[in-house]
């Protein structure tokens, strides 16, 4: 049984919401964050990436960075202003990208559910990234951006969401510089129990994006609990901020690969070697149109690459859901044995390009000499993700790219 709870959001005044709202902290580096925040003192990037206001070369994991984040949150709270909702509420968060709607419930969710796998994971987290966000949450005493959750939608919840959007004025409605529109409503209080009861019937929720945020909320809860002799389990730190979307509304983009060199092989040797296991033909197609196929860019030429019968037969023997994914086939039968990419998590010769950047980015990297070869992949489905989570498996690294992304700062959860 999953738990969802209304909360008193710290949120900006409507007329400055577009200025406060920022891209997630982990989709930009410090330089990009600085450029996005330039000229905008209200940008929440000054909180989530507060190192941009400190001296160049400052360790982004130093205590000074987290203290600066705390100071900047207090400053923006005064200057924006940001105010705390009068009473606990659930919110509807609608994103529109390229004419496609994605509508979720923003609320707080139980850390216990995360710890006991009612909230399912599909990705390994890295300790240094967990350490970073845990310190950020504890120092600012706030969760500044939501986890992105999904589930198999509930009819009665969809109905009250539709009623709210039809009959209620949104508190925010703006289009960000990237062209994605963000609209938020407060769910009328009389609908809260419908949502709470509907979610309670759900056995599992799934993290789509934000594994480090969720893991850090769990670790921060432990720190706060250990420091509180009067802990009851009802404190705000026992819950984490998330937006929950029906799976049928979500779209995963491909997460493409570029490799720096051909592992000592000439172009002809490379093509000859991969042709032993794959069918390789020149093509005008830049994105595969079906699973079990890849588009490869090499020396200004696109190739359609399909696993041969021996690869498909070998792969079908595996009982692992994750090993049957296209990204795993590419890794196990081409990237590793032919190009020497042993571990894509750590190997410095491979890089990853989110599908939102398109195949033009792949061509640019190869044509410039920064990469020797690029691979465009067919995206996994949300239901692949759910099946892997249900099986207790881990998705291969860099295999999902969700768009559109939620903005930080519109709804902050104070712990």
HEC sequence for 67-95? HHHHHHHHHHHHHCCEEECCCCECEEEEE
- pLDDT at residue 93, rounded to an integer: 98
φ, ψ (nearest 5 deg) of residue 333: -115, -10
- pLDDT at residue 124, rounded to an integer: 85
Integer-rounded Cα Rg, in Å, for the chain is 23
- pLDDT at residue 88, rounded to an integer: 98
- pLDDT at residue 207, rounded to an integer: 95
Token pair belonging to 379: 């995206």
- pLDDT at residue 158, rounded to an integer: 93
Closest to 273 in 3D by CA, of 363, 340, 351, 367:
340
Closest to 121 in 3D by CA, of 395, 357, 315, 358:
395
Write out the residue limits of the CATH 3.30.1760 domain(s) in the chain. Answer: 255-378
Q: What is the pTM of this model?
A: 0.88
Rounded-to-integer distance, Cα 249 and Cα 252, Å:
10
Rounded-to-integer distance, Cα 182 and Cα 104, Å:
12
- pLDDT at residue 84, rounded to an integer: 98
Rounded-to-integer distance, Cα 137 and Cα 405, Å:
21
Torsion, CA 76, CA 61, CA 149, CA 376, rounded to 10: 110
pLDDT, block means (10 residues), the chain with 415 residues: 96 97 92 95 98 93 97 98 97 96 97 96 90 98 97 91 97 96 98 96 93 97 97 97 95 93 98 97 96 97 95 74 90 97 92 88 97 96 90 85 92 98
Q: Containing H/E element for 225?
A: helix 211-226
The CATH class of 255-378 is alpha beta
- pLDDT at residue 414, rounded to an integer: 98
């Amino acid at each position: 049984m999953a738990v969802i709870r209304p909360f008193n959001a710290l949120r900006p005044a409507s007329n400055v919401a577009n200025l406060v709202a920022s891209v997630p902290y982990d989709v930009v580096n410090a330089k990009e964050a600085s450029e996005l925040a330039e000229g905008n003192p209200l940008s929440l990037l000054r909180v989530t990436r507060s190192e941009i206001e400190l001296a160049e070369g400052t360790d982004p994991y130093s205590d000074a960075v987290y203290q600066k984040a705390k100071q900047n949150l207090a400053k923006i709270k005064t200057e924006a202003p940001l105010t705390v909702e009068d009473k606990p509420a659930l919110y509807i968060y609608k994103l529109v990208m390229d004419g496609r709607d994605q509508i979720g419930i923003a609320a707080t969710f139980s850390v216990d559910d995360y710890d006991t796998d009612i909230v399912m994971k599909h990705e390994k987290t890295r300790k240094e990234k967990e350490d970073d966000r845990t310190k950020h949450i504890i120092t600012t005493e706030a969760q500044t951006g939501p986890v992105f959750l999904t589930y198999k939608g509930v009819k009665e919840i969809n109905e009250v969401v539709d009623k709210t959007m039809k009959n209620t004025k949104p508190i925010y409605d703006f289009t960000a510089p990237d062209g994605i529109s963000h609209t938020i409503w407060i769910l009328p209080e009389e609908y809260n129990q419908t949502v709470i009861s509907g979610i309670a019937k759900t056995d599992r929720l799934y993290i789509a994006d934000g594994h480090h945020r969720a893991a850090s909320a769990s670790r921060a809860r432990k720190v706060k609990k250990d420091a509180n002799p009067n802990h009851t389990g009802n404190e705000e730190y026992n819950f984490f901020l998330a937006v929950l979307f029906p799976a049928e509304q979500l779209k995963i983009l491909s997460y493409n690969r570029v490799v720096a060199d051909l592992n000592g092989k000439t172009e002809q040797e490379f093509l000859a070697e991969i042709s032993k296991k794959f069918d390789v033909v020149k093509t005008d197609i830049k994105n595969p149109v079906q699973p079990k196929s890849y588009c490869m860019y090499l020396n200004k030429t696109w190739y359609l690459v399909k696993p041969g019968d021996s690869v498909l037969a070998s792969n079908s023997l595996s009982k692992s859901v994750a090993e049957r994914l296209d990204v795993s086939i590419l890794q196990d039968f081409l990237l590793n044995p032919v190009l020497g990419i042993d571990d894509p998590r750590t190997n410095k010769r491979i890089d990853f390009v989110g599908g939102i950047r398109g195949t033009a980015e792949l061509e640019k990297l190869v044509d410039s000499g920064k990469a020797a070869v690029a691979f465009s992949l067919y995206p996994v489905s949300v239901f692949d993700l759910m099946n892997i989570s249900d099986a207790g498996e881990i998705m291969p690294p860099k295999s999902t790219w969700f768009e559109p992304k939620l903005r930080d700062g519109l709804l902050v959860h104070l712990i």
